[in-house]
Chains A and B, each alone.
Chain A
Amino acid sequence: MADASPERETPAKPRLLSDPKFRALVFQIIASITVAAFVFFIVRNTLHNMESRGISTGFGFLDRVSGFGILQSLIEYNETSTYGRTFVVGLLNTILVSVLGVFFATIIGFIMGVLRLSSNWLISKLAAAYIEIFRNIPLLLQIFFWYYAIGFNLPGPRQAMSVGDSLFLSNRGLYLPAPVFESGFMATGLAIVGSIVAVIFLARWARKRFEATGQLFHTVYASLAILIGVPALVYFLSGSPMHLDYPSLQGFNFQGGVVVIPELFALVLALSIYTAAFIAETVRSGIQAVSHGQTEAASALGLRPSWTLRLVVIPQAMRVIIPPLTSQYLNLTKNSSLAAAIGYPDLVAVFAGTTLNQTGQAVEIIAITMSVYLLLSLIISIFMNWYNAKMALRER
């Protein structure tokens, strides 16, 4: 079909430079070229500098023998192991500190956050004092305090503080009884796995029934009963195939048991106390974010106070708490790198510290270290985003 109004005046074509799309394109090209040139400049300098200083490149060093020992390692490691294994040892130690820190910080943080909101004036003020004191003091200072001021001044092994002759705290660290598994323990292990699976199915079933009929099922109590009861039953039926190896004083130090070295002890203590102060604030603001009308509506419907808390307040508060909680967990993981300052053999200390000093391959080592932390951050945030999406408000 022919154009109906061919003689209509076409608007003057705008100048190319005032076209926003064209300008954006030009600007992006200029920006990209600048960044690329900067990167090229750095890479060229780096290659040149490394050549003139005789620094070897590549990741071949990971297969070379490290030649140094490490204070604590979760896998077998000695002086003849490779740098690659050093990396794994450091990484595992970092993960150990982070997991322990997250565990204790969550517990302390939630308790303190709830206490902060207590109707009891004294308790609430004590919790507030805890929060304000510990979150306003640098973490490194707190680590130094627990390690140098407290840890070094603990009594020696002979005068160690003990709890029931099984737990010993001295300047050599914290000694705990170690479980020793005998051959028949397999059955109990299977029972534990089985009860976990059973609890997952139970929780699903309870949820479905709740959504279909509105009938509540005490999932928490039932799960606890299954989780503790079944393995315990199997354990005793199979003739208690496990005993505890208690640490005992022999000569100048303890033998047997598991030892938490003072570095790990100080680090976990400082990290949990510091992060817990932040988590407590998160928890407090999360609970306060649930409007009072919700609680009142729940009581008007005749819910018991405990149900109000479980079914109305906590689910809504968790929604507010989880995103900042994630970033606290991330911070804790990143802050665990302060281990290097007191000589706990984490990734930064053994890899970005000792290994770097021995091999001089700064670029590769720093790159690996940083990518590990980026990856850890990524994993935690993906997990938390998934959890957050599950908990989020489903709006219709």
Chain B
Amino acid sequence: MSHDFAPLPDLPPPGTTVGAVGWLRRNLFSNVANSILTLFAIYLLATLLPPLFSWLFFKADWIGDSREACTSGGACWVFIRARFSTFMYGFFPENETWRINLIYIALIACMVPLFIDSFRHKVKLGVFVIFVFPIFGFILLFGGVFGLEQTETSQWGGLTLTLLLASVGCVAALPLGILLALGRQATNMPAVKSMCVLFIEFWRGVPLITVLFMSSVMLPLFLPEGVSFDKLLRALIGITLFQSAYIAEVVRGGLQAIPKGQYEAADALGLSYWKKMGLIVLPQAMKIVIPGIVNTFIALFKDTTLVIIVGLLDILGMVQNALNDPNWLGYSTEGYVFTAFVFWIFCFSMSRYSQSLERKLHTGHKR
């Protein structure tokens, strides 16, 4: 008799450990405490979500042009619809809004290649977007040349103003921030270093709201007689100074992350300070700090809502303004939910972008 060893075929795993049941057991009901937590969470969701969704969507009113259209007891999106153009464009002349749209389209067209990995001229395009594009945008927005009707800065508002404040603040603060970061790193120049430290710590220590107060009431006093700045420009100056301190700190982080050998190699080659920084250190440092700069941009983007305090009407200001309209009293929830949604889309996508960038760039200098 031969006893050939023939193993039995593998049994399938128990039904309770695979598939949907297995997933549920592992992730939701792994022990008593977890099961209780899960049931509690389900109960919470079941009580909160249906009324929320029915208010937001199912019972909401979407069509119409006055508050009489809002009868079904849900959210009154008619309000947003009626005021949509002021939320987006502020008080910009209605038949000139194509100029703002053109800026958006051009900006998106410029930005798209930056996200394409195989695009080779990213740096050039980035420099163009940061330094040349604002001029183009300003001409379109302000007008007065090439037969464009001139607009007042008081007509700029809504989301346009929010984006303008955040992007101009960030772009203008970038060179200043880099200079400040370099100054703070200059250990052989104690006077310059301490001035930079003082500047950075001052702006980082005070709330933006006091900065805006300062730029709106103190800045006019600082200027020689006869010179006066526009309200928007004053706010922009305050925001730029404030933001430059934060950018300086981010850039300093990047400068410190560059290995000392890079600095020493540049010195050994006999490069001057500016060549060393401009050709060796900053190109590497700026690459690592892009996510950090995006993060400060997100923070600034959210903070621009504060300009409402000095009387500029950004998107939140426009919503507040619309809520005071006697025709639309009592729709504050709709207004805020809409604004929150707009901000959330922008901030969430930017933070996801910065996270993915961080992962992509985290290759070289991590030790």
Residues of chain A lying within 8 A (CB to CB) of residue B191: 28, 31-32
Residues of chain A lying within 8 A (CB to CB) of residue B204: 377
Partner of B221, one of A49, A139, A145, A335: A49
Report A189-226 residues with CB < 8 Å from chain B CB: none
* Residue A85 lies at the interface, judged by CB distance under 8 Å to chain B: no
Partner of A137, one of B309, B320, B340: B340
* Chain B contacts to A: CB under 8 angstroms: 27-28, 30, 34, 37-38, 41-42, 45, 188-192, 195, 202, 204-210, 213-214, 217-218, 220-225, 298, 302-303, 305-306, 308-309, 316, 320, 323, 332-333, 336, 339-340, 343-344, 347-348, 351
Residue of B whose beta carbon sits closest to that of A147: B332
Report A337-379 residues with CB < 8 Å from chain B CB: 337-338, 340-341, 348, 352, 356, 362-363, 366, 369-370, 373-374, 377-378
Question: With A and B bound together, what is the CA distance between A125 and B19 in angstroms?
Answer: 20
Residues of chain B lying within 8 A (CB to CB) of residue A341: 306, 308-309
A-B contacts, 6 listed (Cβ < 8 Å): A120-B27, A132-B348, A138-B302, A334-B207, A363-B218, A377-B205
Pick out which of these stretches binds chain B: A9-17, A40-48, A299-307. A40-48
Q: How many residues of A contact B (CB 8 A)?
A: 55
Main secondary structure of the interface of B (DSSP, over half): helix
The answer to whether B205 and A35 touch across the interface, beta carbons within 8 angstroms, is: no
Question: With A and B bound together, what is the CA distance between A49 and B339 in angstroms?
Answer: 40
The answer to whether A141 and B305 touch across the interface, beta carbons within 8 angstroms, is: yes
Residues of chain B lying within 8 A (CB to CB) of residue A52: 225
The answer to whether A46 and B205 touch across the interface, beta carbons within 8 angstroms, is: no
Minimum CB–CB distance for B224 against chain A, Å: 5
Partner of B316, one of A140, A340, A363: A140
Residues of chain B lying within 8 A (CB to CB) of residue A369: 210, 213
The answer to whether B209 and A46 touch across the interface, beta carbons within 8 angstroms, is: no
* Residue A68 lies at the interface, judged by CB distance under 8 Å to chain B: no
Residues of chain A lying within 8 A (CB to CB) of residue B41: 120, 122-123, 126
* Chain A contacts to B: CB under 8 angstroms: 20-21, 24, 27-28, 31-32, 35, 42, 45-46, 48-50, 52, 118-123, 126, 132-133, 136-142, 144-145, 148-149, 152-153, 334-335, 337-338, 340-341, 348, 352, 356, 362-363, 366, 369-370, 373-374, 377-378
Question: With A and B bound together, what is the CA distance between A119 and B29 in angstroms?
Answer: 10
Number of A-B pairs, beta carbon distance below 8 Å: 149
Partner of B333, one of A123, A136, A149: A149
Residue of B whose beta carbon sits closest to that of A47: B221
Residue of B whose beta carbon sits closest to that of A133: B344
Question: With A and B bound together, what is the CA distance between A214 and B188 in angstroms?
Answer: 49
Residue of A whose beta carbon sits closest to that of B301: A138
Residues of chain A lying within 8 A (CB to CB) of residue B27: 119-122
The answer to whether A24 and B213 touch across the interface, beta carbons within 8 angstroms, is: no
Question: With A and B bound together, what is the CA distance between A137 and B205 in angstroms?
Answer: 23
Given the interface pairs A31-B192, A119-B34, A137-B344, the reply to whether A363 lies near B221 with Cβ below 8 Å is: yes
Minimum CB–CB distance for B54 against chain A, Å: 18
Residues of chain B lying within 8 A (CB to CB) of residue A20: 188
